A and B are shown apart, each in its own frame.
Chain A
Amino acid sequence: MNVEIKMLKTLQPKESVLIGGLPGIAYIGKLSVDHLIQQLKAELVGEVYSKFFPPYVMIRNDGIVELMRNELYYLKNDAGKDIFFLTGNAQAFSPEGQYEIADKVLDWAIGLGVKRVFSIAALLTDRSFETPSVYGTTTTSVLLEEIKRYGVLSLDQGSISGINGLIIGLAKKKNIDGICLLGETRGYRTPEGLYVLDPRAVKAVLDVLTALLNLKADMTLLDKQTKEMDDLFKKIAEIERNMREEITRKPSYVT
């Protein structure tokens, strides 16, 4: 089993788009796609299994075991083109695996009528900002001009790690349209090295994506999460400040 797409529903091919976002920096790709799936009530139609996913399983809260996998959701969209979503709990651990999975998912999507692929990723920055910018790269210059009209900044050079970038690269090889939107983030990590969620960047990306696709999605949850994260960072900053003051108050001599 290199890559296996397990279909849970039979679908008829129809012109549609694919939006992919898998776990990566600050979970921007995955959170964006999961938010849309949840808010738009998309339906789980397929599961992707592969020996290239990290070889362990997760035991859920209810005690049920789950392999690492990617999931494919479908939304029948009366206001525009139907949408497939690609999300999951892991990326392949090797480049060979990333290529095989991206290739198989794209072929599956193209077979169902997908003509345009969106992927969502993160852009790490060390600049300070109030509102994160959204950068973009596309498979053609015409598409780049199209997304610039929605306030997206052109990512003139750089690289995108993992499948969130590869899927656009392979889309170009397969002669279909590809757009990658990258949310600007500081990419904070926990002391254990895990990325801290960045709901503010997710919202910035989704504002662009929903406008591009003429979708209406409730962002209240992301606003709430952003406030929670802001409060958390304020508390951490306060603790740090108090500790510094405590240290400077103590006598600095030894008798």
Chain B
Amino acid sequence: MEKSTWETHYKTVELNEPIAVVGSSGLRSIGRLVVDHLIDEMKPQLIAELYSTHFPLIYQTKPAYSPQPELPGIGGVEIESGEVGLPRVQFYAHSHPPLVITKGYNANFSGQYEVAGRVIDFFKELRVRRIVVVAGYGSKEKKVCCAATEKKIIDEIKDKFQIEVAYKGPFYGFSGLVFGLARLRGIEALCLLVSAEPAPTDPEAPDEESSKMLLDKLKQILDLHS
């Protein structure tokens, strides 16, 4: 294996300065659920998949995005409808409106930068003009808040959609690092965070209610009509 992170491209698409929506497994599976719902509803085309030897067969951490690398966890090849597939990041394209819907995957501790960096490279190739990251944060209060790579985006979202800054603190894993690297590499990015009650014994237990709240706001921002 020559490279530790590589992509398989299935289709070449011409998108006019698309917006990339990024979500991955994490707190109460919010990011993953929002992206899955969006894919189900919009029926985008799978255009590429990213693989990496940094996607663990046994997680060094549990959950995968934990900042502490010592704890064991679950990971490995995925089996769906009886077929086996490698763990991967998937990129779906939608033409009108132009979107790149990205289903993320958490790499191990030392490989997260490489994977997130390659995702940003691919977004640059696709001339992505803005990234919208979707995720959850731990709180009992039901609320959608935002963060961004620059103040003008926060002002825009506050003015148009009455979504404010509320969460401060660390953001772990695939989606957090894509968000941070977007700033470093000069792609503007908005992050929509919905509160979800942490489930310590099963951190990724799906929270459909919070995911729905976030999905509704996302559709409003992207001007998608269901």
Contact = CB atoms under 8 A, between A and B. Distances in A.
A254 B180 CA distance: 60
Interface stretch (A37-45, A58-66, A244-252): A58-66
Interface in B170-226: 170-173, 176-177, 179-181, 183-184, 189, 191
Given A55-B177, A56-B67, A64 B150 contact: yes
Nearest to B178: A57
Nearest to B158: A63
A178 B147 CA distance: 41
B78 to A, nearest CB: 22
Contact of A59 (B117, B171, B184): B171
A67 B147 contact: no
A65 B191 contact: yes
Q: Which of A56, A57, A58, A94 has the most CB of B within 10 A?
A: A57
B112 A55 contact: yes
Contacts of B146: 63
Contacts of B180: 57, 65-67
B183 A59 contact: no
A233 interface: no
A60 B116 CA distance: 21
15 contacts: A1-B113, A51-B117, A55-B172, A55-B173, A56-B171, A56-B176, A57-B179, A59-B191, A62-B154, A63-B154, A65-B148, A65-B171, A65-B183, A67-B184, A93-B109
A99 interface: no
B148 A63 contact: yes
Contacts of A54: 67
Given A49-B184, A66-B180, 14 more contacts: A51-B113, A56-B170, A56-B172, A56-B173, A56-B176, A56-B177, A61-B165, A63-B147, A63-B154, A65-B149, A65-B179, A65-B183, A65-B189, A94-B110
B168 interface: yes
A64 B184 CA distance: 12
Interface in A154-193: none
Residue of B112, B114, B180, B181 most packed against chain A (CB within 10 A): B180
Contacts of B170: 56-59
B167 interface: yes
B44 to A, nearest CB: 26
B82 interface: no
Interface string A78-106: 00000000000000011000000000000
B169 interface: yes
B151 interface: yes
Closest 9 CB pairs of A and B: A63-B165, A51-B113, A57-B180, A55-B112, A67-B180, A56-B172, A63-B147, A59-B147, A57-B176
Interface string A16-59: 00000000000000000000000000000000010100111111
A59 B181 contact: no
B114 A51 contact: yes
A66 B176 CA distance: 10
Interface string B139-171: 000000011111100100000000001011111
Nearest to B191: A65
A138 B177 CA distance: 38
B181 A61 contact: no
A51 B113 CA distance: 5
B177 A64 contact: no
A250 to B, nearest CB: 34
B106 to A, nearest CB: 9
B151 A55 contact: no
B155 to A, nearest CB: 10
A65 B147 contact: yes
Interface in A215-238: none
